[in-house]
Structure 1
Amino acid sequence: MPILTQQPIYQTALSLMLSAVIMSANVNAATAEEDPQTAGAWESVPMPSQQTLAQAVHSVLLPNGKVLIANGSSFRNTIVTEGDTQKIQEGVDSGDYDSVNNTVLFDPQTAEFAKIPSPPAIQHQENNDLFCAGHLQQADGNVLFVGGTGRYYPGGRFTGSRQLNLYNWRDNTWSDKGQLKEGRWYPSLVPLADGKIAIFSGLKLNEPNQINQGLEIYDPLLNKLDYFDLAQIADSPFNTKLEGSSVYDSIDLYPRVFPTATGKLLITGDEAGIANVLTPHSSKKSYLMAVAKDTGGKLSVSFEVGADKAETSKAYGTAFQVPNSEDVVLLGGLTGTNDIGFGLPNKPDIPGASVASSLQRWQAPGKTGTKLGQWSQTPAFLAEPRANLQAVILPDKEVLVVNGGVYPEYRPVYEPLLLSPNPQANGGYDIKRMKAAHLPRLYHNGALLLPDARVLIIGGNANRAARDSVGNVRVDTIRDAKEFNVFAKLTDQAGQPKAFTLEEFYQHPQSYYAEGDTQPFVPAEIWQAEIFSPPYLFKPGVRPEIIQAPESIKYGQTGLVTVSAAEAAGDLVLVKLGSVTHSFDYGQRLVDLPIAIKEHKAGSALIKFNAPSNANLYPPGYYMMFYLNAAGKPSHAKMVRLES
């Protein structure tokens, strides 16, 4: 897929120039003033080949340690030629296989990308586009993709796909698992204790920008779906009026939903949002949903209206479940509107809208002594507002907050934040600023914990790229109030015209400016990945390693691992494999495994551990097992399957 900037750049020249860029970036990282022991370190992943360039809308860590990166039609527009000029037409044809065939595998050990086939563009006589699908690993490690884009409409409107696609991680193949009852664009998938998957929200198939009010529960063993119309169920969001209003609440797009120890699901009210979808969601409510099964195997769902939050629902924030806990944290995000263009210089101001710097935390009934749990708020937790941020749970139970911007698609924030648990601190965490990344990453960015305990940082959309009929892609685009998207008129910092080239941008990411904008220009898609090594990898002393571990473990049972450089005060943890899209990881969980050293011999230790017993909080599937010494320095992970 050749890449067009202002003039074509061909593969040989591009590869040579980008090699120089990567060397330059690594030299800068090596000579930076920050101490890696306190601020971590960055490395640039070599630029993918032209055939494997992908923006990483959907990224999933697989049991073999590779990362599946699926994009579908990739939020792109179409380049059309009119005489001697090129213009941008909104959207692409989602039924065209060349437009949606954008799936690659990344191998962190070799730093190489490899293109693999995507599912067919047409399935069951309907479009089958993975862009803005929901996805999650099943208990066997295969990845279920639910829904996606049905069709693009002018003005930023969309419909959802009804397709179910399954990716087999062992042989890199896709299979058709049938269809949903209704379309789902921006759905959330939540794993249940028995291996089933609950599917929330998304946009309908035939009605642009209309939210699907149904819940579906997928059974992978039977390849069966159970459907529930939530508007007909008491106390569901679609059947609960907002306080002092005749308007009903909603479960918005990509809702942030979490399990509790009892199996109930906490619907937080926060979401991923999108411009022009109904009206901005402005509820402070949360909900608890229970799934029950009668003696004949028939499923039912019920709801309780939960505790109110201090803030109304937010879009483009992130969320995570606190390790070893039912607690849920909501962080940052946009409130008062769900327009992703909020804050752009050529957009009108939106009264009442703002990007949050707050942290909200939900604690379960058992901790608070309340029936429904309780929310608390730390209003100015972050040093600056942040949207489209990611939260990555690290093996030492710290949380890395990375990517995003002061606005959803504008003013990127380059510095990660490391959150260290401290019950006495505001929000329960001490905050430390880490070394800055090299590249900006706004919408559609990704961040995943890798088996070597580093963090992959990938993707980023400041806008919509434009693709021509033969696959050439331009990323030098910008929003325009009159014509939707246009090719940007770019200058240097002094205001002199400057032709856009990829090699110049990747060497100097803040060297371009769009006419009339004081902030550096960010291309529509970011194609180079980076990897962040947290400070724990630079702690002094020998790195411990798991020499031998079981391939599978059973709930509540004991097991044995052999660890080099083990210590009596060390920790053994399981971290569930990540599945990231739209500022939220639907996979990650962390649980401590209680351990006891049985015997030391020849520099290693045999350690007995207890597997977790609560499948609600820690669902069946593949996890990374890390050992950490007393100083918190982690081993490389062993992949372990947790099963009943």
Structure 2
Amino acid sequence: MAAETVGRWSQPFELSNVAVHISLLPNGKVLYWGRRTDPKSTDPATFDELWTKAFVWDPATKTSIPTANEPLGVDGRTVNLFCAGHSFLPDGTLLIAGGHIKDGWGVDQACVYDPVSNRFMPKVRHNKGRWYPSVLTLPDGRALVISGSYDQSYTVNNIPEIWPADNGAANPGAWIEVADPLNQQGPVFPLYPRMHIAPNGRIIVVGPLAQSWWLDIKDPVTGADIVTQVGGKSVVGRWVDAQTVRKAMFRDYCPSVMYDTGKLMYIGGGLTVESDPGPTNEVEFLDLNQPNPKWTNSPSTNMRVQRRQFNATILPDGTVLVNGGTKGPGFNDVSQSVHLSELWDPVAGRWSDMASESVNRCYHGVSLLLPDATVISAGSGEYGGVGPDQNMTNAQIFEPPYLFKGGSRPTISTAPSAIVYGRDFTVTLGSTAAVSKVSWVRLGSVTHCRNMNQSLMFLHGFRQNGTTLTIPAPANANLAPPGHYMLFVLDNRGVPSIARIIRIASTLPRAEDSIPDAEPPSCTTYGADTTPVPEREPSPSAQPTLTERNQKITASQSRPPVVVGLTPACPYGLGPCWGGAYDALRNISDIEIVCPVPDQADSVAFVYPKERDCLPDIDIWRGELTKVVNRSYEMRGIEITLEGVVKSENGELSVVGESTGGRTVVLGQFGEGSQIRWDIKTEKPREVSDEETAAYERLTEAVGKREDSGEVSVNVTGTLQKGCDGGFSLDVREFEVL
């Protein structure tokens, strides 16, 4: 089809690495980095390099130069920023939270990239490591960091933090502790949570969990931080159930987008339980301008193609481009990559097919809006079950249909470099052609299907007098957090200008604080910054970590937990990929307590049922878990410890007692089919030991020796099975004669 209908993709061109992380800088250039120095290497050791080679790409010349230094920690050692989170601060620097030691094990270092010096600067360390965290710049200029996993335990970091507004080198500041959602009966958020700012200044987390949550940082009356004292320390913020749940439930590896002021869309992702086991094509909408916003969905607003591992990019005219991803089952099926792009038109309320990209863009692919109103698509690969041939070091440019309408584009001849909230500002146009819309798009910062900096609003009420356009600035920082934005003007055909990048703040910045349009310094070799930086240990958190919460729960219980075998679709194991499973287990009607830390090594979780003296119904548990998370987790089985009297009849053992609810449970031998513990490396159940397979025989022998003396009481532990007749049996893994 013609480019004026479906747009056009450029031929692929090479970058200097797989662009897993990509950000549009205030000078119009693009910062990016990947996982390792050589993405084509087959050496497994290279996947865990502890340094970062980052580059700055110039859209005008399509060439890359390296950054002037490698990111450093406060101890002077290099760090790997792969799987970090990032968002722009008000001064145009990029805050980067966390990074990579091993898959699921995040570094506790934070740093800032300065586009003026083209250098990374170390900042104060996090309370714990963060691998896959999200970062959101707040209306007051601070930055919120949530989630990420840490340490060799791969435990999720449940304690959010705020980076202070004053982040200059002379005052490195300190992280501000934010309330743990668990304090308000909230969730353990999954990795890379989707966060947005509502027009009233509240933060909302809309995914991957089905249920949305508000985070209130400020008191709506006083405007001051909401502060509570925990253990003699101040903790900021309050979590509130948003009382709305997405119909398609848990959905990961997909984008959420604020495509207009307060208007969100959550697109595709997850893994369905329908006949086609791939991701969904459902799109759900949430209007934060409403007093009690609720998620809505209509089949007419769904994408034509189901997909996950893809990106969504807001265009200057308010449409949303979706590209890349896979429609196949599992985590990252590149054999079913989606090359067709789609475009959402919020005015018409429909999707349109766009041109097809020529390269697979799946896991670790990125897309970013550029100032010339085109979109760069890059990356994909660097694990997720693919080999080096799928590690894409190239990029393509998408030219949307509005660039093929013929005639000249509107132009902006002059514009201010900085503006102030609530005040009009003036730009000069290149012609007197009528302007139909003015859009205001925040500079993007993208990784893992998430543009953490992306938002668009239309600046209504502008006035045109010939080539002079007077535009009302955004009214307040809730609508547009302080920082740098692309200003586009669109003509009556919907064709956008090339953007001017403008900074907005409460007051006009000093000249020395502005980001110049000059070239960043060139550099041909990497050199570590030798400037000494004082190392500061992170302060102990006032709130307990998940591990500490776990210890408290297990210490308070006099009964053994029920062990639940869970396999996540995520390849990194149950520890870092825990949030969705934790939420789903809490929604199982029979479960009272879910221990907040799973066993990463065996891929099992620990729960305590509401009724102490009943048998868990595995069919009900599996059904209720699947209802929440679809196919994102598989419940392999449950292991339970029963106390009761063993009976022997016709050579078959059974047990009955209070813990069985008075029901007779037939005992059997533990075998390969009984194993619920999982080996993530082999992607198979763990091997069953000789001791485990012999447990039933040894129990039979022990009961035989004791039968003459009366009833034999035992504790038996093993995998609970439910037969077609509704009866229960237990494959004995270990036992204790009481």
TM-score, normalised via structure 2 length: 0.62
2:253 maps to 1:333: no
Which of 25, 42, 47 aligns to 1:62? It is: 25
Q: 1:305 to 1:75 in 2, by over 3 A?
A: farther
Q: Distance in 2 between matches of 1:626 and 1:175?
A: 32
Tell me if the contact between 1:548 and 1:563 (Cα under 8 Å) persists in the aligned partners: yes
Unmatched tracts of structure 2, length 5 or more: 168-172, 228-235, 507-738
Which of 549, 555, 572 aligns to 2:421? It is: 555
Letter in structure 2 aligned against 1:404: G
Q: 1:93 to 1:331 in 2, by over 3 A?
A: closer
2:170 maps to 1:228: no
Letter in structure 2 aligned against 1:41: R
1:570 Cα deviation (Å)?
A: 2.0
2:245 maps to 1:319: no
Tell me if the contact between 2:259 and 2:320 (Cα under 8 Å) persists in the aligned partners: no
Tell me if the contact between 1:235 and 1:304 (Cα under 8 Å) persists in the aligned partners: no
Q: 1:437 to 1:643 in 2, by over 3 A?
A: same
Counterpart of 2:491 in structure 1 is 629
1:327 Cα deviation (Å)?
A: 1.8
Q: Distance in 2 between matches of 1:68 and 1:177?
A: 19
1:231 Cα deviation (Å)?
A: 5.0
2:217 maps to 1:291: yes
**% identity of equivalent residues:** 28
Counterpart of 1:362 in structure 2 is 286
2:470 maps to 1:608: yes
1:265 Cα deviation (Å)?
A: 1.0
Which of 82, 87, 94 aligns to 2:49? It is: 94
In the TM superposition, 1:563-578 aligns within 5 A as: 563-578=429-444
In the TM superposition, 1:418-457 aligns within 5 A as: 418-422=343-347, 429-457=349-377
1:374 Cα deviation (Å)?
A: 0.4
Q: 1:631 to 1:231 in 2, by over 3 A?
A: closer
Letter in structure 2 aligned against 1:284: A
CA RMSD of aligned residues (A): 2.6
Tell me the alpha carbon deviations over residues 466-523 of structure 1, each in whole angstroms, 9 at most, x when there is no partner.
xxxxxxxxxxxx66xxxxx7x8xxxxxxxxxxxxxxxxxxxxxxxxxxxxxxxxxxx2
Tell me if the contact between 2:179 and 2:237 (Cα under 8 Å) persists in the aligned partners: no
Q: Distance in 2 between matches of 1:296 and 1:135?
A: 25
Tell me the alpha carbon deviations over residues 268-289 of structure 1, each in whole angstroms, 9 at most, x when there is no partner.
121xxxxxxxxxxxx5311111
Tell me the alpha carbon deviations over residues 587-619 of structure 1, each in whole angstroms, 9 at most, x when there is no partner.
12112223444532xxxx111110011311310
Tell me if the contact between 1:184 and 1:201 (Cα under 8 Å) persists in the aligned partners: yes
Tell me the alpha carbon deviations over residues 444-482 of structure 1, each in whole angstroms, 9 at most, x when there is no partner.
111111111111111111746xxxxxxxxxxxxx66xxx
Tell me if the contact between 1:103 and 1:117 (Cα under 8 Å) persists in the aligned partners: no
Tell me the alpha carbon deviations over residues 109-139 of structure 1, each in whole angstroms, 9 at most, x when there is no partner.
1111112255356653777210100011111
Q: What SS does the corresponding residue of 2:249 show, helix, strand or coil? A: coil
Q: 1:77 to 1:162 in 2, by over 3 A?
A: farther
Q: Distance in 1 between matches of 2:501 and 2:69?
A: 26
Which of 449, 458, 463 aligns to 2:378? It is: 458
Letter in structure 2 aligned against 1:36: A
Counterpart of 2:7 in structure 1 is 40
Which of 81, 84, 90 aligns to 1:130? It is: 81
In the TM superposition, 1:190-589 aligns within 5 A as: 190-208=136-154, 210-222=155-167, 223-231=173-181, 233-237=183-187, 250-270=188-208, 283-292=209-218, 299=227, 300-306=236-242, 307-323=244-260, 325-335=261-271, 354-364=278-288, 366-367=289-290, 369-370=291-292, 373-379=293-299, 381-407=302-328, 408-410=332-334, 411-422=336-347, 429-461=349-381, 463=383, 523-589=389-455
Q: Distance in 2 between matches of 1:441 and 1:462?
A: 12
Letter in structure 1 aligned against 2:207: G
Counterpart of 1:639 in structure 2 is 501
1:298 Cα deviation (Å)?
A: 7.3
Tell me if the contact between 2:40 and 2:391 (Cα under 8 Å) persists in the aligned partners: no
Tell me the alpha carbon deviations over residues 218-265 of structure 1, each in whole angstroms, 9 at most, x when there is no partner.
11415321113515522432xxxxxxxxxxxx2110001111011111
Tell me if the contact between 2:71 and 2:111 (Cα under 8 Å) persists in the aligned partners: no
1:74 Cα deviation (Å)?
A: 7.4
1:217 Cα deviation (Å)?
A: 0.6
Q: Distance in 2 between matches of 1:232 and 1:110?
A: 50
Counterpart of 1:142 in structure 2 is 93
Q: What SS does the corresponding residue of 1:332 show, helix, strand or coil? A: strand
Letter in structure 2 aligned against 1:178: V
Tell me if the contact between 1:217 and 1:227 (Cα under 8 Å) persists in the aligned partners: yes
Letter in structure 2 aligned against 1:230: D
1:71 Cα deviation (Å)?
A: 2.1
Q: Distance in 2 between matches of 1:185 and 1:197?
A: 17
Q: 1:161 to 1:542 in 2, by over 3 A?
A: same
Q: Distance in 2 between matches of 1:74 and 1:195?
A: 34
TM-score, normalised via structure 1 length: 0.71
Q: 1:612 to 1:414 in 2, by over 3 A?
A: same
1:196 Cα deviation (Å)?
A: 0.4
Letter in structure 1 aligned against 2:110: L
Tell me the alpha carbon deviations over residues 128-183 of structure 1, each in whole angstroms, 9 at most, x when there is no partner.
2101000111111111110011x32xxxx521111011110011011111200111
Tell me if the contact between 2:272 and 2:280 (Cα under 8 Å) persists in the aligned partners: no
Tell me if the contact between 1:312 and 1:335 (Cα under 8 Å) persists in the aligned partners: no
Counterpart of 1:18 in structure 2 is none
Counterpart of 2:457 in structure 1 is 591
Tell me the alpha carbon deviations over residues 282-321 of structure 1, each in whole angstroms, 9 at most, x when there is no partner.
x531111100267987752112111122122111111101
| Larger Rg over CA atoms | 2
Counterpart of 1:176 in structure 2 is 122
Letter in structure 2 aligned against 1:140: D
Tell me the alpha carbon deviations over residues 390-440 of structure 1, each in whole angstroms, 9 at most, x when there is no partner.
111111111111111113332111111111123xx6xxx321111111211
2:82 maps to 1:158: no
Q: Distance in 1 between matches of 2:250 and 2:38?
A: 25
Letter in structure 1 aligned against 2:333: E
Counterpart of 2:593 in structure 1 is none
Q: What SS does the corresponding residue of 1:224 show, helix, strand or coil? A: coil
Q: Distance in 1 between matches of 2:71 and 2:321?
A: 36
Q: What SS does the corresponding residue of 1:292 show, helix, strand or coil? A: coil
Q: 1:597 to 1:541 in 2, by over 3 A?
A: farther
Unmatched tracts of structure 1, length 5 or more: 1-33, 80-87, 238-249, 271-282, 338-349, 465-477, 480-484, 488-522
Q: Distance in 1 between matches of 2:210 and 2:333?
A: 25
1:41 Cα deviation (Å)?
A: 1.4
Tell me if the contact between 2:304 and 2:351 (Cα under 8 Å) persists in the aligned partners: no
Q: Distance in 2 between matches of 1:201 and 1:634?
A: 37
Tell me if the contact between 2:39 and 2:391 (Cα under 8 Å) persists in the aligned partners: no
Tell me if the contact between 1:101 and 1:117 (Cα under 8 Å) persists in the aligned partners: no
